[in-house]
Structure 1
Amino acid sequence: MAHPTARLIAVALIASTALVACKKHETTTATDTTAPAATPADTMPAAPAPLPPTSTPSPAAADAISEVQLGTSVGADNRVASPMTSFGTKDTLYASITTPANTTGKLGARWTYLGTDGKATAKQVDTQSKDLTAGTSATTHEFHISKPDGWPVGKYRVEISHDGTVVQSRDFDVR
């Protein structure tokens, strides 16, 4: 028969090992280019998880944006004429953002080049912002960028923020 103290120590070791194994892993941001070291839990087969958002917006910030679309042109109402996620190297890139009635604050767009494989060091292409004034109905705003000498082929992301908090993002590519 094992000594009671030895048995308690064994139970404590097993319990602490189980707690460590159950610890949640932190997510990395879109601009983090280094992968975390693999742990035994990482090597076990698991169902694929959805990609994490680039940030977790507060509920109020998330409600500030009702729609984001990308395209190569917008109409008089600032809406993208033909939504798309793949662009040519000479295209002007538009982001059309719809905000609900009475939305105020600052709306921002950060355009980032992610590289040809989407894993290269992210390089900020441009940032833009607009002051929002409360309106009685939903309003559509547009941001756009162009590069007359041509965009590098690869993967890109535009992050839309409200008062400095990223609330939505869209990935796209240039071919």
Structure 2
Amino acid sequence: MTAPTLRYAIATALVASLALAGCKKDKPADTAVTPPPMSTPAPTQPASPMNSAVSITSVTLGTQAGADKMIQTSTTDFTTNDPIIVSVSTTGTSGSTNIHTRLVYEDGQVAGEESQSISTNGIETTNFTFNNANGWPAGNYTAEVAIDSAAPRKTSFTVK
């Protein structure tokens, strides 16, 4: 290739590239709306131990409890000299929950009353032992067990 031909070829290439650059259309603006990221619900935080509910799962009566606090032989029939053990099984989590238990004689008279505050994280058994040095009067009774200020759970029993 001769110098004038080379210059001609370079000039043509330069003009062609300028022409192409000048003809290049701008990319149209992206008018599509990008949707916001899908919102995911915030993870539920476990309730703090101070605010979780504790509920009664069972109330068992008997005269003797084992080392595990479970009533060895449950009964609703007692003699006048028997200790009356009210065993309360609960479930839940709490830094401080009050369990209140009372024995009510058939005429409405309170025959015994105890409260305990528990701190629990799961399943718990709490026992209340009632004794009467003069012997329990024969008749029908109700053991009432309540957690904090909830309505009591009632279990009937008899002293013979």
Instruction: Pick one of 125, 145, 152 that aligns with 1:140.
Output: 125
Q: Please, which runs of 5 or more residues in structure 2 have no aligned partner?
A: 1-51
With normalisation by structure 1, the TM-score equals 0.58
Question: Is 1:100 the equivalent of 2:91?
Answer: yes
> Which segments of structure 1 move beyond 6 Å, counting only runs of 4 or more?
none
Task: Among all aligned residue pairs of Structure 1 and Structure 2, give the percentage whose two residues are the same amino acid.
Answer: 27
Q: Distance in 1 between matches of 2:149 and 2:102?
A: 11
Quick check: 1:87 aligned with 2:73? no
Say whether 1:151 aligns with 2:136.
yes
Inter-partner Cα distance in structure 1 for 2:155 and 2:71: 14
**2:119 aligned with 1:128:** no
Higher relative contact order (CA 8 A, sep 6+): 1
When normalised by structure 2's length, the TM-score is 0.63
| Residue equivalent to 2:102 | 110
> Is the Cα contact below 8 Å between 2:56 and 2:88 reproduced in 1?
yes
| Cα deviation digits, residues 12-63 of structure 1 (max 9, x gap) | xxxxxxxxxxxxxxxxxxxxxxxxxxxxxxxxxxxxxxxxxxxxxxxx97x6
1:149 Cα deviation from its structure 2 partner: 2.1
More strand by share: 2
RMSD: 1.7
| Count of aligned residue pairs for this structure pair | 108
1:64 corresponding residue in structure 2: 55
Aligned runs of 1:1-80 on 2, under 5 Å? 64-80=55-71
Distance 2:129 2:120 in 1: 23
1:100-133 CA distances to partner (integer Å, 9 max, x unpaired)?
141441101011111xxxxxx3101121111121
- Bigger Rg over Cα: 2
CA deviations on 1:59-112 (whole Å, 9 max, x unpaired) are: x97x61011100001111111110100000100000100111414411010111
